[in-house]
Structure 1
Amino acid sequence: MDNETHFRGIYRIDSARLIDYDYGSNGIYFVTICTRNRACFFGDIEEGPTGHFLNPTCLGQQAIDCWLAIPDHFPFVILDEFQVMPNHIHGLLWIDKPDYDDWQPNAFGPQSKNLASILRGYKIGVTKYATNEGIDFGWQPRFHDRVVRDANELARIRHYIVQNPANWKRDKNNLDGLFM
């Protein structure tokens, strides 16, 4: 068994990250972050006169507020479409660092001013609120990301994010409207 699939006697999933890509470089990143066990902590999807929307719990509202505050902590980030769902979040983040020319290939170790550090800060903010409010909340340890490669892909992802609440009834992770 090699080190890529076996660590401390436990099998692990190989990273889906691009091996030589710099996740702190300028670009557009589509991310999905899921709650622990995909539990519906953030609210419920409802239908209104203008379409489907998340009716957030207090923790769901905090998830929204923390997302909107990302540029306050990382001024080089521009927010695009995002959607907080009952048990996950989809978002588009633009990293825009003027005059960035310090290419650093993806590597294991301390992370700063890159996608991993941005999302770690976001997750910490939501988790801290939950802890302070006595909510037994947690995230899945990882997140899914995709480097957006062109304008057509960006348009498809934006559409997917906006339509996500309308598709909730068919989502395999929908727990029949039950939330914690």
Structure 2
Amino acid sequence: MALPRRKPNRLPNYDYSQAGYYFITLCTKDKQPLFWQPSVGADIIRPPQGIQRSSIGRVVDEAIRAIPAHYPNVALDKFVVMPNHIHLILALAEPDGRIISAPTKPLSTVIGSMKRAAAKRAGIPLWQKSFHDHVIRGEADYRRIWSYIDANPRKWREDCYYV
């Protein structure tokens, strides 16, 4: 029996080392809710004002925040750590800081490095094999995605990654 073919989740012929803004989503392995502490005595996640990250969620938060220290041409513009996934907006820039041409490392290298660092520190496999990306095209696209990330914790039960 042939294995099902995975749908490619990257734009064909797109150079992901190209400078620009990227919306990234990474899910936990088997969509396990590893990053938030569940509410005590209830089958719900704490409301946004009471979010408490688990120890693994704190490890992931630190790994995300460390991206610019390891990749000076990558700016962390916005992110949120949800119970079983994360969303980020990353900006890849030229070495002099202009968002114009190719930086030294492609997006997949940056994301792979962060995923490995977080999983190693957590001591368990954390991530699905790949990640979802969207090349942000213009100011309206950027604002829509920024607002989506900002509202994501409040809309957790409606989220497509809610399990």
* TM above 0.5: yes
Q: List aligned pairs for 1:30-179, cutoff 5 A.
A: 30-44=23-37, 45-47=45-47, 51-52=48-49, 54-98=51-95, 113-131=105-123, 136-175=124-163
Whole-angstrom CA distance in 2 between matches of 1:102 and 1:129:
30
Aligned-pair Cα RMSD in Å:
2.2
Whole-angstrom CA distance in 2 between matches of 1:165 and 1:139:
20
Whole-angstrom CA distance in 1 between matches of 2:115 and 2:84:
13
Deviations 1:113-135 (A, max 9, x none): 1100000001001100121xxxx
Q: SS where residue 64 of structure 1 aligns? A: helix
Q: SS where residue 10 of structure 1 aligns? A: coil
Whole-angstrom CA distance in 2 between matches of 1:17 and 1:77:
19
Aligned 8 A contact 1:83 1:89 in 2: yes
Identity %: 35
What stretches of structure 1 move > 4 A for 4+ residues in a row?
A: 99-103
What is the Cα deviation at residue 138 of structure 1?
A: 2.5
Q: Normalising by structure 2, what TM-score?
A: 0.85
- Count of paired positions: 153
Aligned 8 A contact 1:28 1:147 in 2: yes
What is the Cα deviation at residue 12 of structure 1?
A: 2.1
Whole-angstrom CA distance in 1 between matches of 2:50 and 2:67:
22
Aligned twin of 2:42: none
Q: Normalising by structure 1, what TM-score?
A: 0.77
Whole-angstrom CA distance in 1 between matches of 2:131 and 2:51:
21
Structure 2 gaps, min length 5: 38-44
Structure number with bigger Rg: 1
Aligned 8 A contact 2:94 2:102 in 1: no
Structure 1 gaps, min length 5: 1-7, 104-111, 176-180
Larger relative strand fraction? 1
